[in-house]
Amino acid sequence: MKHCLWLAVFVFTAYGLAAACPSNQSHDENALKAVEQSWAKALEKRDSVAIDCILTKEFQDADIDGQLHSRSEALAKVPHRANNANHLSELQPHVHGDFGYVRGLNTVTDPQGQMLAKVRFTDIFVYRDGRWQALAGQETLAKAEDKK
Give tens-digit pLDDT for 11-29.
334 444 445 788 889 999 9
What's the Rg (C-alpha) of the chain? 17
Segment 100-148, tens digit of pLDDT:
999 999 999 999 999 999 999 999 999 999 999 999 999 999 975 544 4
- Least Cα distance to 31 among 87, 120, 75, 94 occurs for 94
- Alpha-carbon distance of 139 to 148, in angstroms, equals 19
**Dihedrals φ, ψ of 63, to 5°?**
-80, -175
- Domain count along the chain: 1
Question: How much is the pTM?
Answer: 0.82
- Alpha-carbon distance of 89 to 130, in angstroms, equals 26
75: CATH = 3.10.450.50
- Domain encompassing residue 70: 2-146
